[in-house]
Amino acid sequence: MAGYDDRDGKIWMDGKLIEWRDANVHIMTHALHYASSVFEGERAYNGKIFKSVQHSERLIKSAELIDFEIPYSVEEIEAAKYEVLKANNLTDAYVRAVAWRGAGEDMGVASARNPVRLAIAAWEWGAYYGDAKMKGAKLDISKWKRPSPETIPSAAKAAGLYMICTMSKHAAEAKGCSDAMMYDYRGYVAEATGANMFFVKDGEVHTPLADCFLNGLTRQTVIQMLKEKGITVHERHIMPEELEGFEQCWLTGTAAEVTPVGQIGEYTFEVGALARDIAESYERLVRA
């Protein structure tokens, strides 16, 4: 495929649709230098963006958490997303909304006088982990830990918070893995680089408490699905040594959807009935 900077199509940028290749920013854009950027990853199924309004609301909230205001309402962002899908003739697609501090009068840590910009793009994107949905993803264990919420706005989906995720995933891929599991600053099991985690033991589900990392919308959806199926869900701190006793594991995220995990480091997991059932149930839900 062509690089993401060299494609046909339209991108919505600052209130209007422009040609994909013309969707550029200046080299002095503040976000490029200081990571003053937030984003959302969303999927459209059969022409409808799953949890679309919640994503738009979180985008605005993320911006507030890193101290800027997006100059568009939820309703305007919603209209723009569907305008992008229509302009690109897409019904099943990944949708990326990104807001950032642009180039302006400030070029230092402070950037209050710089304009806030917003862009929305969409493209076809298949399974995030390839064939892992069938055989289970293989995960490395990252040397990097999710930071304390006293050091970062951990509830924001902010670009800068993904730096150690990129480093962790690169290291994992170099080892032949699909992704990496990260511990948090206390040593508890936290998440993968771009997805939340679930484990199964004795018919009950355990998922790390999202108190220092993003409480994903897919995570919340899957927890509700499990409860509706009558399955007990424990949101709690999980110690590394507990991995040995879990029978199944899966990842959740807008890009990942529901992806079973077959291995994390030295620990192996069955791609079992519950993992498959939840993956199938989620697929039915998003396409309903």
Does one domain contain both 116 and 216?
no
Q: Measured between alpha carbons, how far is 207 from 216 in angstroms, rounded to an integer?
A: 12
Number of H helices and number of E strands within the chain? 7, 15
3-state DSSP call for residue 113?
A: coil
Q: At what angle do helices 273-286 and 217-228 cross, to 10 degrees?
A: 110
Give me 30's structure tokens.
Answer: 């503040």
Burial class, 84, CB count within 10 angstroms (exposed 0-12 / middle 13-18 / buried 19+): buried
Each residue's pLDDT tens digit in the chain (288 positions)?
689 999 999 999 999 999 999 999 999 999 999 999 999 999 999 999 999 999 999 999 999 999 999 999 999 999 999 999 999 999 999 999 999 999 999 999 999 999 999 999 999 998 888 777 778 999 999 999 999 999 999 999 999 999 999 999 999 999 999 999 999 999 999 999 999 999 999 999 999 999 999 999 999 999 999 999 999 999 999 999 999 999 999 999 999 999 999 999 999 999 999 999 999 999 999 999
Domain count of the chain?
A: 2
Catalytic position from the list 10, 81, 138, 157: 157
Q: Is residue 111 part of a domain?
A: yes
The question of whether 81 is a catalytic residue gets the answer no
Q: Measured between alpha carbons, how far is 34 from 239 in angstroms, rounded to an integer?
A: 34
pTM exceeds 0.85 for this model: yes
- Which domain range does residue 26 map to? 10-123
Does one domain contain both 63 and 144?
no
Does one domain contain both 192 and 250?
yes
Does one domain contain both 34 and 102?
yes
Among 123, 150, 169, where does a domain finish?
Answer: 123
Give me 234's structure tokens.
Answer: 């424990």
Does one domain contain both 110 and 43?
yes
